[in-house]
Structures are given as C-alpha cells and as structure tokens.
Amino acid sequence: MRLSKNLTLAEATRSDTAKRKGIDNRPTGEHLSNLITIANKVFQPIRDYFGSPIRVTSGYRSEALNKIIGGSKTSQHCKGEALDLQGLGEISNAMIFDYIRENLEFDQMIWEFGTENEPDWVHVSFTSINRGQILMAYKEGNKTKYQTMA
C-alpha cells in the first residue's frame, strides 16, 4: 500500500526489532490515516524537492514495539504522526532539516545527535495542530536531553 507517491506502508512500519521479537507493528485505522497525512504533508514534499530517495529509519511503532525499544511513552511514532529521516547519496540530513524548517508545516522537528553540522537523523512530526517546535537532542551521561533551537 502506498501512503504517498514515494512512500509505502511497508517502509513506514519496517522494524527489524519487531520482526525479531514477533511484534505486530500494523497501525490502527486512525494511525494509518495519520501516516498518510505525514507522508503527503512532509515526506513527499521533501522527496519531490530533492528528486532523490529519502530513507525512513523509524516510522510507525506499535505500543509494544515502542516499549521494547525504550521509546517515550508519549512518542508521536505510536500515533503514526512521526518519521525519522535520513538523506541518501548527496542529500545530507542537514539539508533535509533545513528544507523542512524553511518550507514545511510541522509539529516538532529534532536535530538528532550528530555534530553541529550534521545530525545523525531528523525526527519530524505532523499533527492537526502543529507547534513548529525545533529541538536538538544530545546526550548527557546516558540520558537524552533536548534544547530548543532558534
């Protein structure tokens, strides 16, 4: 099933952990609707702009999967409202981050770890009421912390 022109449901729900652990990672009807929305409002515009594949490293997560991987109890991934993205080839993660910030509506976007020039990946979410919140994730000891970016 296609969520948008260039994103399939299989890509947005793929999880090696779910496969290994035998976890059902199929979205509910509401969560599927949310995935279709973020695919068309965020993923597809990025894909169209760069004209090159963009990798989804984490999309929908069932509550069982989210618990196993230690995700936040309030993760938007569990609602089908969030995608973690990485550029491929000449498309850097920073380029994706900048494109989203300058061109798209979003609820939350996180520069996930990495360096000051390149995140390891970009987390982006989309809801019916978008805050436009931009954060940077970093580690302090073993704990993930977030700071607001301008």
Taking the C-alpha atoms of residue 120 and residue 17, their distance in angstroms, rounded to an integer, is 20
What pTM was estimated for this model as a whole? 0.94
Q: Give the fold, CATH level 3, of 2-106+116-131.
A: Muramoyl-pentapeptide Carboxypeptidase; domain 2 (3.30.1380)
For the stretch 47-77, pLDDT in tens is 999 999 999 999 999 999 999 999 999 999 9
